[in-house]
Amino acid sequence: MTTSPRLSALLRTSALALVCAGSLCAAQAPSAAATPTLRVAIGGKADFTTVQAAIDAAPEAGAVILIAKGTYREIVEIHKNNITLRGATANPADTIIVDDHNAGENGGTLHSSTVSVYADDFHADHITFANDFNHTHAQVSTGSQALALMLQGDRAVLRNVRLLGNQDTLFAGHHGCMNTAGKDCSPARSYFADCYIEGNVDFIFGDGAVVFDRCEVRSTAHGAGGYITAQGRVAPDEPGSVYVFNHCTLTAETGAGHVFLGRPWRPYATVIYLHTVMGDAIDPAGWHEWHEGETHSLETATYAEFDSSGPGATAANIAQREKFSKQLTAAEAAAYATRTVLSGSDNWDPEKVR
């Protein structure tokens, strides 16, 4: 597998970062030779050299962490609720958190993430999360799952965020649901607005309740083709586990091969595309079995589209869609509106979260 030229171009030495708690923060111009420095205002002022140190120093009630332009090479874990990571400019390419952990060397896929969020009410704005394992380990072909971001907390909101990777770029789900076969679990809810996500194999996966609104989803080059989603709904009665792509755009690099909208990681995978523009790399069949000839999850998965457009969704292509998938009516599509999918018992409205 290869890494996107876009990812390679973004990996530069950085300057510094600024961290704010509450309404307190102060700007500082970066110098070319400066070590990445973070400032956190928590009833005073303290400086930290990593994003993780700033998170660790944040109050238990949470903090807004404003990160200045630059590249921060580190592993980040978030266990406190109400943490916001925000790039200091409106361009998410200006602020990058990146590392190159992978599944093969770090105890499995869910231990490979650059940024791991275990807490609730996580927010991210104007920032890039990346995993450049395939760039730094170009010859390694096994254990190449390498997450840029893992979300296991509830009510996450990400706006104008870039996620860069190849295999398994984003995990969005709740760790308890798969282990309990969907019983007594509550899939974590996430909302992505105006984001950019790239990868090639199963690069958006998990069992959460997730809406992608106005996002660009880009498939990177991969000779054997690619799979955008590997949704992990375990049981038919698992509440709320669904991935919805609404008014998104599906693009691909040259050499991306045949790209499928998804394949079912678990038997009841549920993925819906609404008003999505699909590029010409999308395979006419649309959907693919997990392991053809071995599994039969397409028969139980819920794979559907409404109002798809673009060269990957011509009338001729739609006619060739996998037989177990479905084209929704307008009334059926309405059931996958953002508020309907994500509101939950607490009536959460992520579109109002800023």
For residue 252, pLDDT over 70 is answered with yes
Range of weakest confidence among 17-26, 81-90, 130-139? 17-26
Range of weakest confidence among 28-32, 86-90, 282-286, 306-310? 28-32
For residue 41, pLDDT over 70 is answered with no
Residue 124 is encoded by which pair of tokens? 């991210």
What does the pLDDT read at residue 88? 84
What does the pLDDT read at residue 305? 98
For residue 176, pLDDT over 50 is answered with yes
Over range 9-21, report the average pLDDT. Answer: 41
Which residues have C-beta within 8 Å of that of residue 310, sequence separation ≥ 6? Answer: 249, 250, 276, 277, 278, 279, 280
For residue 170, pLDDT over 90 is answered with yes
For residue 20, pLDDT over 70 is answered with no
Q: pLDDT averaged over the chain?
A: 85
Over range 74-97, report the average pLDDT. Answer: 94
What does the pLDDT read at residue 103? 82
Helix/strand/coil (H/E/C) assignment for every residue in the chain = CCCCHHHHHHCCCCCCCCEEECCECCCCCCCCCCCCCEEECCCCCEEECCHHHHHHHCCCCCEEEEECCEEEECCEEECCCCEEEEECCCCHHHEEEEECCCCCCCCCHHHCCCEEECCCCCEEEEEEEEECHHHHCCCCCCCCCCCCEEECCCCEEEEEEEEECCCCCEEECCHHHHHCCCCCCCCCEEEEECCEEEECEEEEEECCEEEEECCEEEECCCCCCEEEEEECCCCCCCCCCEEEEECCEEEECCCCCCEECECCCCCCCEEEEECCEECCCECCCCECCCCCCCCCHHHCCEEEEECCECHHHCHHHHCCCCCCCEECCHHHHHHHCHHHHHCCCCCCCHHHCC
For residue 33, pLDDT over 90 is answered with no
- Among the listed residues 168, 207, 213, 283, the single catalytic one is 168
For residue 315, pLDDT over 80 is answered with yes
What does the pLDDT read at residue 220? 94
What does the pLDDT read at residue 181? 64
Report residue 109's pLDDT band, with 50, 70 and 90 as the boundaries. confident
Report residue 139's pLDDT band, with 50, 70 and 90 as the boundaries. low
What does the pLDDT read at residue 289? 97
Phi/psi-derived region of residue 155, left when phi > 0, alpha when psi is between -120 and 50, beta in every other case? left
What pTM, to 2 d.p., does this model score? 0.88
For residue 63, pLDDT over 70 is answered with yes
How would you classify the pairing of strands 38-40 and 46-48? antiparallel
For residue 7, pLDDT over 60 is answered with no
Over range 341-348, report the average pLDDT. Answer: 93
Domain 68-342 CATH (choose: 3.40.50.300, 3.20.20.140, 2.160.20.10, 3.30.420.40): 2.160.20.10
Report residue 42's pLDDT band, with 50, 70 and 90 as the boundaries. very low
What does the pLDDT read at residue 183? 67
What does the pLDDT read at residue 217? 98
Over range 1-11, report the average pLDDT. Answer: 42
Report residue 2's pLDDT band, with 50, 70 and 90 as the boundaries. very low
Over range 29-57, report the average pLDDT. Answer: 56
202 is annotated as an active-site residue: yes
Q: Where is pLDDT greater, at 75 or 19?
A: 75
Q: Domain locations in the chain? A: 68-342
Q: Where is pLDDT greater, at 102 or 231?
A: 231
- Among the listed residues 202, 207, 213, 283, the single catalytic one is 202
For residue 291, pLDDT over 80 is answered with yes
For residue 43, pLDDT over 50 is answered with no
